[in-house]
Every structure is written in structure tokens, then in C-alpha cells.
Amino acid sequence: MSTSLIDLLMKPVKPWPMPEFAPPPRELAPGLWRIERKLRMPGALVLPVGMTVTRLPSGALFLHAPILLDDDVARALGALGPVAAVLAPNSFHYSFVAAYRSRFPSAELFAAPGLAERVPELPPATVVGASAPPEWEGELEPLLYGPIGSFSEVAVYHRPTGTLVLTDLAFHMTRFENALDRLGWKLLGVPPDFGPSRTARLTLLRDRAAARPFLQAMLERDVRRILVAHGDPVEANAAAEFRRAFRAYLEP
């Protein structure tokens, strides 16, 4: 699979972590946590990033969209349970999976379709299909989209809490460091509320006919909460917010 223009543009972008922002895991519901960090991007913009952690019935942990693995993150995970599964859920959130594979060698690595072809240096991983792997212990359901060109995303539905976990399909950045940060992200196409960014519209959502059944499938679940990789959880009226944000794609 050829290298996309987006890949070429991303190569010189080297965000660096902000060590002063390192809160402990935030429990959203029994067996469901977020570990949140911030990255300083070129141009001084601050990008929030979050990893979703769920506890499986066995007591082991499933990690969605792994963030930078430092000692604080490793200790936090160790306090919650053994890591059993790590998911690189889309075409961009894979940078740190090799570190998790090294730190937790017994964990199974999963990847979105097409990612291994785009990233040859990715460690060996099981490609996620339409059915949940047995390692997900019946708690998590994959909702697979793509590849559309070079892009794909695996949304995950956490049945016990009614939580839909997205990656870059939507943002929900409502808190900013300052007015310039807010303006910068607005100019880069980040929406003012929960919804798809300009990048998502140009990549994952560019084929509306292909996107519609994927989005409709999410609304067939009992969606009570939505998590995204960049921004805050959607805790109130989650299904209605999803319909509002993706109305242009859900309607023929």
C-alpha cells in the first residue's frame, strides 16, 4: 500500500509529552478507566490524548489506543491488573505499541486492518475482523470500518457500560490552554463540540456511502457514553449527540 499524503505530512511532526500533566487513571464506571496526557505539538498547540482501559472478566486489562508508556503509566496499569490485550485501533495510533509489547510480553497485540501494510515496523499483531477475538472475553465488540484508501478504524463497544470507544473518527476538545490554542485547533479543523474533524472528513469519511452502515451500526447498540482519543468523554445524551454530529452521513 502506497504512502499517503497524510503520512508524508505527519513525518516532520514530532509532538513531545508535557510531564507536568500526569493525572492518575480516571475511573468512569466499574471496570472502565481513562489515562489522560497532553502533547505539545509544533507551533505550541497542546493536544490532549487518552488511552481507554477496561478490565475483562478474568481481571486482566484491555488497552485501547496506547499512549506513551512511561514509569507512571506502567505503575498505574500494574495497580489495575495484568495487561492482556493492546489494540492499535486505527491508521495513526500505533506509535507506542512496541513499547507495550516489550513491557508486557504476555499481552496480545491487535491492529486495525491495513495498518501492518502501512507500517512495516509494527510488531506482529492480530488483525481485527468483524468478530471479537476470544481474548476480548465477550465484553468488547469491534465495529470495523475500512480500509478506505489507506485509512481504517476499529471502534469498540464496551457492553457492560454501554461505552462506545472511538479514536480519530470524532474529537471532543472543549478545554484549551488559552485563546491562541483554541484558535489554532479551530483553524486546523477541530470542531467546537463532539464531532468529526476536517481530517476525519477527508480520510475516514470521504466515502459517505461506505461510512453510513458503519455509523448506523454504532447506533444499533445501547450507547450511553462515548470516548474519543482527543478530548473529553460524552457522558450525557450520548446517542443523540452521535446522531447530531454525524447527521450528514447518516441521512441518504
What pLDDT digit, counting tens, does each position of 194-249 carry? 999 999 999 889 999 989 999 999 999 999 999 999 999 999 999 999 999 999 99
Question: Is it the case that residue 1 has pLDDT exceeding 90?
Answer: no
Tens digits of residue pLDDT in 144-172: 988 887 789 999 999 999 999 999 999 99
What are the tens digits of pLDDT across the range 45-59? 999 999 999 999 999
Please give the model's pTM, rounded to 2 decimal places. 0.92
In the chain, % of residues over pLDDT 70: 94
The reported pLDDT for the residue numbered 3 is 41
CATH number for the domain spanning 196: value is 3.60.15.10
Average pLDDT over all residues of the chain: 91
What pLDDT, in 10s, does the model give residues 68-77? Answer: 999 999 999 9
Q: What is the dihedral of CA 165, 166, 171, 176, to 10 degrees?
A: 50
Binned at pLDDT 50, 70 and 90, residue 6 comes out as: very low
Domain count, the chain: 1
Q: What CA–CA distances, in Å, run from 57 to 110, 136, 166, 248?
A: 19, 9, 22, 38
What is the Cα–Cα distance from 162 to 221, expressed in whole angstroms? 8
Give me the domain span that covers residue 126: 5-250
